Amino acid sequence: MAKNYPAQNFLNRELGLLEFNRRVLAQAEDPQVPLLERLTYLCIVSSNLDEFFEIRVAGLKEQIKLGGIAVGPDGLEASQILKRLFAPTHQLIARQYELFNKELVPALAAQGIKFIRRTHWNAAQQDWVKEFFLREVMPVLTPIGLDPSHPFPRVVNKSLNFAVELQGKDAFGRNSAKAIVQAPRVLPRAIPMPPEIADCPHGFVFLSSIIHAHVGELFAGMEVLGCYQFRVTRNSDLFVDEEEVKNLRVSLQGELPQRHFGDAVRLEVADNCPPELANFLLRQFELKPEDLFRVHGPVNLVRLMRIPGQVPRDDLKFKPFVPGVPALLQKKGADMFKAIRKGDVLLHHPYQSFKPVIEFIQQAASDPDVVAIKQTVYRTGEDSELMEALIMAAQRGKEVTVVVELLARFDEEANINWAGRLEAVGAHVVYGVVGHKTHAKMLMVVRREDKRLRRYVHLGTGNYHPRTAKLYTDFGLFTCNEEMCADVNEVFVQLTGLGKAKKLHHLWQSPFTLHSKVLEAIRNETKIAKTGKRAHIIAKMNALLEPETIMALYEASQAGVKVDLIVRGVCALRPGVAGLSENISVRSIIGRFLEHSRIFYFRNEMKHDVYLASADWMDRNFFRRIEACFPLIDSKLKKRVLDEGLKIYLKDNCQAWEMDCNGFWHRKTSGRGVQTCAQQDLMQSLGQALGAGEED
């Protein structure tokens, strides 16, 4: 049963998520950031907000609809939270479009990258657009006139649509005043125009502009009075009653198509859309006026994310970066097993390459002495060398076991496809434990050596996803430590079989021991501080929300423990409150890479305990997921994580933000002092250009 704590001790999760997106938007506002990267950050904010509405806002609306009055740790009911979200959400989106129209578009145009609006098309451009419309667009459009025999169509989640106002009668004598035109998703939203036509090196025309200009072609003999783009965001949280289904994969395959048609939660329309038409659309989607967002520009900025990739202007992007490779693995075809036997190997992504992880699985797949491979898969992408290696291993007769998390949000379809391919070649595929997502990042290889079996494992803070390993900061550890390997093997036994959880040597595991062990470590520092000795906790994670952990940190602060928290996203803890948390600081780093690693440090009377984990300090990670938190045993690697993963981030005064007791974030500046940029410094120290590696 949940404990009741003082509501004033906690900040609201949803408001915290909006604050996180403000920090991301600040990257798009920063003139020091390369121009095309600023556009990317703007698109990332839109993508984040889409998920915010699809999951968080949708969840709040669902609570209200079901009549629940569940109250979070902050004491707010769902209806109260929704009211508080209204103003800041509208302000954030308004600022996005202001930045796009007034700063980014003119700055891009000055660099020869133009979004050519239809009001500015010359004769040659008009001809090109018309020809493109007739050839590429019109054949795939299906206009739907609204009348008694043509009801309002089902509108796909986040798709581009047009509400068209008409006058006159059609060939059948029908006198419909409205029609809907849906833009197929196969069409790009920004179409490159040939330089000789665009009169600039890189000209783009919006699909919405092309359809606006020629929508009359779809309604011959009728007069188009107006054409207005709109987009609806829907509830995208899948519901599968895991206790009722006999086959989770089959049930999910039936549920996935419905994600596109969940309850509407937000309507975006062009800012010139007449009020009566906007109200008509609101009624169709059963939305309220506060769910309406009028935007000056494309209703889906996310789709502009492709623009930087279409413009070969390296001077307007981040400088190319080549990840480093540890010295002992730099030799081509280096024996991964031999390297791991020499000692634990630590990789710090993306500063160090993810390639050794891929090579480890590939070598295991082709090595005749390897008899078994076991791996967890949460997110891995649609095109994965790792998964191909597992398929090859199974084809070669090795025992391959893969724990695939089918409910990894927005990756369900890719994971279902991989599960099918793995099963087809004889791999053992399991879907974890009912009611608990498998979020742990674990890989184990069993190899026959010297007439006995030896286990090798890889444990990580991030997904086995080669693409995101270039964009997310994470740590990965290779080890053949027998006790650590035995722990990992035990977790795999739990996931694939049945039985009681056994006591582990080193791993802290959700849902059994992670929460209690974290609390124990925090309380141990509290106990040490009360004796007058120095006590220190540093914790880095994506989110801090679990109430009992927050209360334990407050108690530690009051006892004199110095608590430094590095939280990328949302933090429900209030730092710097007199008598409660004056010894706690909370900071966030927003930069080129997405901070994703979870690191927990406890000074523990100079023992300097360092743990890496797949889990944030959230209820779901502690109690509703399978998570792994593992210690660093090697003192050199422990120091590396302290230096590279924590201390340098606490010194950062370029990309750091600090949170006040009310949940507002303030940019940390260097003033006239020495500038420290954690991500930049790590690129220089670990990147391939400097030949840095494991021996540093």
Give the catalytic positions in this structure. 439
> Token digits for 531?
């004796």
Q: Are 294 and 271 in contact (CB under 8 A)?
A: yes
Assign residue 353 a region (left: φ > 0; alpha: ψ between -120 and 50; beta: otherwise).
Answer: beta
**Residue written as tokens 């609570």?**
63
The whole-angstrom separation of Cα 367 and Cα 452 is 16
Residues 6+ apart with CB under 8 A from 228: 162, 163, 164, 269, 270, 272, 273, 274, 277
**Residue written as tokens 């902050």?**
74
* Residue 295: count of CB within 10 angstroms of its CB: 21
Q: Are 74 and 253 in contact (CB under 8 A)?
A: no
- The Cα-based distances of 360 to 364, 409, 694 in angstroms read 6, 27, 17
Helix locations, 367-429, DSSP H: 385-395, 412-424
What phi and psi values does residue 226 have, to the nearest 5 degrees? -170, 150
Paired sense of beta strands 625-631 and 437-438, if any: parallel
> Token digits for 691?
């030949």
Radius of gyration, CA atoms only, the chain: 27
The whole-angstrom separation of Cα 378 and Cα 96 is 32
Closest to 397 (Cα-Cα) out of 418, 373, 363: 373
What's the per-residue H, E or C state across 242-289? CCCCCCHHHHHHHHHHHHHHCCEEEEEEECCCCHHHHHHHHHHCCCCH
Long-range contacts, stretch 181-184, CB < 8 angstroms, 24+ apart: 181/141, 181/142, 181/143, 181/144, 181/211, 181/215, 181/218, 181/227, 182/141, 182/142, 182/144, 182/153, 182/155, 182/156, 183/141, 183/159, 183/207, 183/208, 183/211, 184/140, 184/141
Helices 355-366, 385-395: crossing angle, 10 deg rounding: 10
b/e per residue 240-279 (b: at least 16 CB within 10 A): eeeeeeeebbebbeeeeeebeebebbbbbbbeebeeebbe
Which of helix, strand or coil describes residue 406?
A: coil
**Residue written as tokens 């791999």?**
427
Which of helix, strand or coil describes residue 542?
A: coil
Give ∠ CA 660-665-666 in degrees, rounded to 5. 95
